[in-house]
Structure 1
Amino acid sequence: MNSAKERLSSKAQRVKTKVMQRTTSTQSWILPKLDSSYAPPGTWVNIDNDVTPFERQTWGGWSLVGYWMSDILSTQSWAGASAIISIGLTYREALVCLIMGTIIISIPLVLNGMIGARLHVPYAIAARSSFGYYFSRVPVVIRMVTALFWHSIQTYSGATAMTQVIRSIWPSYLDIPNHLPESAGITTQQMVSHLIFWLVQFPILLIPPHKLKAFFLFKAIYVTLAAIAMVIGLCVLAGGSGDIWTQTPRYSGSERSWLILYFMSSLTGSWATMATNVADYTRYMKSDRKVYLQALLMPGISTFIGVMGIIATSASRVVYGEYIWDPVQLTARFDGPGGRAAAFFCGVAWCVAQIGVNVSANVISCANDMTSLCPKYINIRRGAIITTVIGAWIMVPWKIVSSAASLINFMSALAVFLAPIAALLATDYWIVSSRRIDVPALYRPDGRYKYWKGTNFRAVLALFVSLGPNMPGLIRNVDSSVYIGGAEKLYNFNYLWGFVSAAVVYAGLSWLFPVPEARITKEEMKTWEQEQYLASLEGVDVGQREMRSGSDGSLQKEKITMDQK
Structure 2
Amino acid sequence: MPLISAIEVENTKSHVRERITSAKAWELPKQPTTFAPEGTWTNIDNDVTPVQRRIWGHWALLGYWMSDILSTQSWEGASTIISGGLTYREALLCLIMGTVIIAIPISFNGSIGAKLRVPYPVASRASFGFVFSRVPVIIRMVTALFWHAIQTYAGSTAMTQVIRAIWPSYLNIPNHLPESAGITTQQMVSHLIFWTVQLPFLLTPPHKLRWFFVFKAGVVTTAAVGTVIGMCKLAGGTGDIWNQKPHYTGSTRSWMILSYMTSLSGGWATMATNIPDYTRYLRKPRGIWLQAVTVPVICTFIGVLGIITTSASNVLYGQYIWDPVEVASHWDGPGGRAAAFFVGLAWVVAQIGVNVSANVISFANDLTSLCPRYINIRRGAVIATIIGGWVMVPWKIVYSATSLINFMGALSIFLSPIAAILIADFWVIKNQAIDVPALYRPHSRYHYVGGCNWRAGVAMLVSLGPNLPGLVNAVNPSIDIGGAIKVYDFNYLWGFSSAFVVYIVSSLVFPAPDTLVPVTIHDDGDLYVGEAVMEEEGAVIPEKQV
Q: Same fold (TM over 0.5)?
A: yes
Relative to structure 1, is the Cα distance of residues 339 and 529 closer, same or farther in structure 2, using a 3 angstrom cutoff? farther
Where does residue 38 of structure 2 map in the other structure? 41
Match of 1:216 among 213, 217, 236: 213
Match of 2:415 among 414, 418, 436: 418
1:275 aligns with 2:251: no
Q: Matches of 2:154 and 2:485 in 1, distance apart? A: 31
What residue number does 1:206 align with?
A: 203
TM-score with structure 1 length normalisation?
A: 0.90
Between the two proteins, the alignment pairs up a number of residues equal to 530
From 452, 460, 467, give the equivalent of 1:463: 460
Select the residue among 255, 259, 272 that pairs with 1:258. 255
Q: Does 2:531 correspond to 1:555?
A: yes
Give 5+ residue unaligned stretches, structure 2: 1-12
Counterpart amino acid of 1:72? I
Q: Name the SS for the 1:333 alignment partner.
A: coil
- Tell whether 2:502 aligns with 1:505: yes
RMSD: 2.3
Please list the CA deviations of residues 291-344 of structure 1 after superposition, one character each: whole Å capped at 9, or x if unmatched.
000001100000000000011111111111111111111011111111000000
1:159 paired to 2:156: yes
Equivalents in 1 of 2:264, 2:319: separation in Å? 25
* Contact 2:436–2:521, Cα closer than 8 Å, also in 1: no
Shift of 1:430: 0.2
Over the matched positions of the two proteins, sequence identity in percent amounts to 66
Please state if 1:175 is matched with 2:172: yes
Is contact 1:37–1:45 with CA below 8 Å preserved after alignment? no
Q: Which moved further from structure 2: 96-105 or 317-326?
A: 317-326
Q: Are the structure 2 counterparts of residues 192 and 408 from structure 1 closer, same or farther at C-alpha, using a change threshold of 3 Å?
A: farther
Give the aligned partner of residue 454 of structure 1: 451
Q: 1:564 to 1:54 in 2, by over 3 A?
A: closer
Partners of 1:97 and 1:38 lie apart in 2 by 45
The answer to whether 1:53 aligns with 2:32 is no
Q: Which amino acid aligns with 2:66?
A: M
Q: Which amino acid aligns with 1:385?
A: V
Whether contact under 8 Å (1:530, 1:558) holds in the other structure is no
Per the TM alignment, residue 26 of structure 1 is displaced from its structure 2 partner at its CA by: 3.1
Q: Does 1:73 align with 2:52?
A: no
CA distance, structure 1, for counterparts of residue 86 and residue 168 of structure 2: 38
Residue-by-residue CA offset, 1:496-529 (whole Å, 9 max, x unaligned): 010010000000000000011111112xx25739
Map 1:355-394; keep pairs closer than 5 Å. 355-394=352-391
The residue that corresponds to 2:514 in the other structure is 517
Match of 1:342 in 2: 339
1:14-33 deviations in Å (ceiling 9; x for gaps)? xx999787436433322233
3-state SS of 1:378 partner: coil
Equivalent residue in structure 2 for 1:119, among 113, 116, 120: 116
Tell me how far apart the structure 2 counterparts of residues 134 and 366 of structure 1 sit (CA, whole Å). Answer: 18
Equivalent residue runs for 1:130-145 within 5 Å: 130-145=127-142
Q: Which residue of structure 2 lines up, in the alignment, with residue 82 of structure 1?
A: 79
| 1:265-344 → structure 2 map (5 Å cutoff) | 265-344=262-341
Name 2:482's counterpart in structure 1: 485
In structure 2, the residue matched to 1:28 is 25
CA 1:372–1:432 in structure 2 vs 1: closer, same or farther (change >3 Å)?
A: same
Matched-pair contact (CA < 8 Å) for 1:234–1:315: yes
Counterpart pick for 2:106 among 106, 109, 114: 109
SS at match of 1:133: coil
Cα distance change, pair 317–530 in 1 and its aligned pair in 2 (3 A): farther
Tell me if 1:528 matches 2:523: yes
Q: Secondary structure at the match of 1:413?
A: helix
Q: Contact (CA 8 Å) 2:526, 2:534: kept in 1 or not?
A: no
Q: What amino acid maps onto 1:528 in structure 2? A: D
* Residues 74, 350 of structure 1: 8 Å contact kept: yes
Q: Tell me which amino acid in the other structure corresponds to 1:264.
A: M
Cα deviation, residue 42, structure 1 = 2.3
Q: Which amino acid aligns with 1:562?
A: I
Secondary structure of the structure 1 residue equivalent to 2:55: coil
Between the aligned partners of 2:234 and 2:525, the Cα distance in structure 1 is 62
Are the equivalent residues in 1 in contact too, given 2:532–2:543 (CA < 8 A)? Answer: no
1:121 aligned counterpart, secondary structure: coil
User: Where does the alignment leave 5 or more consecutive residues of structure 1 unmatched?
Assistant: 1-15, 534-552
Moved more, 36-45 or 376-385: 36-45
1:403 shift after superposition: 2.9
CA contact 2:533–2:543 (8 Å) conserved in 1: no
Q: Do the aligned partners of 1:400 and 1:407 also contact (CA within 8 Å) in 2?
A: no
Cα contact 2:130–2:447 (8 A) shared by 1 = yes
Query: In structure 1, how many angstroms separate the alpha carbons of the residues matched to 2:239 and 2:464?
Result: 43
Are the aligned partners of 2:437 and 2:524 in contact in 1 as well (CA < 8 Å)?
A: no
After TM superposition, the structure 1 stretch with the greater mean CA deviation from structure 2, 437-446 or 25-34, is: 25-34
Is residue 401–residue 407 contact of structure 2 (8 Å, CA) maintained in 1? no
Change (3 A) 1:87 1:63: same
- State which drifts further: 398-407 or 230-239: 398-407
